[in-house]
Amino acid sequence: MKKIISASLLLTITIASYAQSIDKIVTPKEVERIETTLASDEMLGRKAFTPGIEKSADFISAEFKKIGLQPMQGLTSFRQTFEIIRPRFVSASGTINGEVKDNKSIIVFTASPSLTVNENSGYKKTTIAAGSNLNAEVSKYLKSNENILITVDTSFTKTFGNLAALKRALYNPLGNVIVVLSPTEPTTFSIKAEQEITKLTGSNIVGVLPGKSKKEEYVIFSGHYDHLGIGKPEGTDSIYNGANDDAAGITAVIMAAKYYKALGNNERTLVFVAFTGEESGLLGSQFFSRKLNAKQVVAMFNIEMIGTESKWGKASAYVTGYNMSDLGKIMQKNVKEGSFTFYDDPYTTMRLFFRSDNATLARLGVPAHTISTSKMDVEPFYHKAGDEVKTLDMDNMTTVIKAIITGATGIVSGKETPTRVALPTQ
């Protein structure tokens, strides 16, 4: 009897101290300090690939250092830096089987300023037939890192020009992809293209907390620290602070790092990431995803816009792509019953699951979801200069952060493993 009493007493004490420690570490005051710094005018709206974002990169790095995180394997700092190219069209011309092509029927994807190729250049050849999904097909080849000449059926004449938009997603192509409108498959061809290339660099900020027994299994906590920078003034305000989008998510990432470091019992390796280039087409997460084996990533908690109340009120959030894995259900199970609700995404027609950095990892099979409270249909300051700290509810945001951390405990400890995401290949 005595033994039983002391065991249950011990359990009570353990639960109490656990609850106390999260409340001590994840405080509204600390949440406010980080949030306010990231969203201050000094950070100049944190536009990716501009000098304006550097101060926030330094701030996040300094927080990671203070917490005691380690750089990612192979890096000497928390910055994971990469180069992107911004091509500007100059000219394109050529022939396919002797038929002359003008610049309206040629699009070139390359990091080179000038390109001259013909049938002897060793290019792989392929065609895209009428009725295909042109954008999806070309995107697939852009990821292959090979030199390819794609001839596209002339039924695509009207939409062909839209392919140029895909250049935005090219952070640094390794292969050259040439796309030409042509009724015939090429036997002989000659293509010449010139463009102006601007090179820009950006950095994800990555901090690691190695796992105790399951070091090779990763759990990612992420958000994006870039926003829109300085833009069209609204009244006298031209700095787009992005307090909710996504300084709030980064605040959550830093708080989670702080909490798990203090706890010091994560069996799996935790990777805390502040992505850059989210607003320019998920560029930072694309680079990040190439630097680690997605099969080793057990779960990804991507956090976006948690500073305002959700459509259901306080103490609730939604998980995008809720049914694509059981991550949401696991999170719900881990929070104290009745204290917080993780709902399914109510804005499915907006395809939010595919619009944030989680999508990059989800396409590789990772149970990667975005957790948000943003009322996407009516949020008044979304992508506006008015997205300022004063519009956020720090107490509720603290509650949301604590719920995400608590919801993740079983996964962090290695006891729970969410199901993989299986997306249709596209």
Contact 326, 390 (CB under 8 A): no
DSSP letter for each residue of 232-257: EEETTEEEE--IIIIIHHHHHHHHHH
- How many residues bind to Zn ion according to rule CB under 5 A? 3
Site for Zn ion in 285-314 (CB under 5 A): 304
Only one of the segments 76-84, 176-184, 240-248, 399-407 lies at the binding site for Zn ion (rule: CB under 5 A); that segment is 240-248
The answer to whether 387 contacts Zn ion (rule: CB under 5 A) is no
Residue 285 CB, nearest approach to Zn ion (Å) = 12
Distance CA 406, CA 400 (A): 10
At 399 the three-state DSSP class reads helix
Distance CA 216, CA 125 (A): 40
Q: Which of 277, 300, 287 is nearest to 369 (CA)?
A: 300
In the bound state with Zn ion, the residue whose beta carbon lies nearer, of 309 and 379, is: 379
Residue 322 sits at φ, ψ, to 5 deg, of: -45, -40
The answer to whether 245 contacts Zn ion (rule: CB under 5 A) is yes
Cis upstream peptide for 357 (omega within 30°): no
Only one of the segments 49-57, 120-128, 242-250, 280-288 lies at the binding site for Zn ion (rule: CB under 5 A); that segment is 242-250
Only one of the segments 96-104, 237-245, 324-332, 398-406 lies at the binding site for Zn ion (rule: CB under 5 A); that segment is 237-245
Query: Residues with Cβ < 8 Å from 357, sequence gap 6 or more?
Result: 222, 224, 275, 278, 282, 284, 285, 302, 370
Residue 289 CB, nearest approach to Zn ion (Å) = 18
In the bound state with Zn ion, the residue whose beta carbon lies nearer, of 48 and 181, is: 48
Beta bridge partners of 181: 152
Residue 325 sits at φ, ψ, to 5 deg, of: -150, 180
In the bound state with Zn ion, the residue whose beta carbon lies nearer, of 304 and 416, is: 304
Contact 239, 44 (CB under 8 A): yes
Tokens (6 digits) for 290: 């190439």
Residue carrying structure tokens 């042109």: 134
In the bound state with Zn ion, the residue whose beta carbon lies nearer, of 35 and 416, is: 35
Residue 308 sits at φ, ψ, to 5 deg, of: -115, 165
Residue 241 CB, nearest approach to Zn ion (Å) = 13
Residue 119 CB, nearest approach to Zn ion (Å) = 45
In the bound state with Zn ion, the residue whose beta carbon lies nearer, of 117 and 401, is: 401
Residue 245 CB, nearest approach to Zn ion (Å) = 4
In the bound state with Zn ion, the residue whose beta carbon lies nearer, of 208 and 359, is: 359
Residue 49 CB, nearest approach to Zn ion (Å) = 16
Site for Zn ion in 59-88 (CB under 5 A): none
In the bound state with Zn ion, the residue whose beta carbon lies nearer, of 249 and 418, is: 249
In the bound state with Zn ion, the residue whose beta carbon lies nearer, of 110 and 373, is: 373
Residue 261 CB, nearest approach to Zn ion (Å) = 25
Distance CA 263, CA 145 (A): 43
Residue 246 CB, nearest approach to Zn ion (Å) = 4
Write the binding mask 191 to 230 for Zn ion: x where contact by CB under 5 A, - elsewhere: ----------------------------------------
The answer to whether 246 contacts Zn ion (rule: CB under 5 A) is yes
Distance CA 362, CA 254 (A): 23
Binding site for Zn ion (CB under 5 A): 245-246, 304
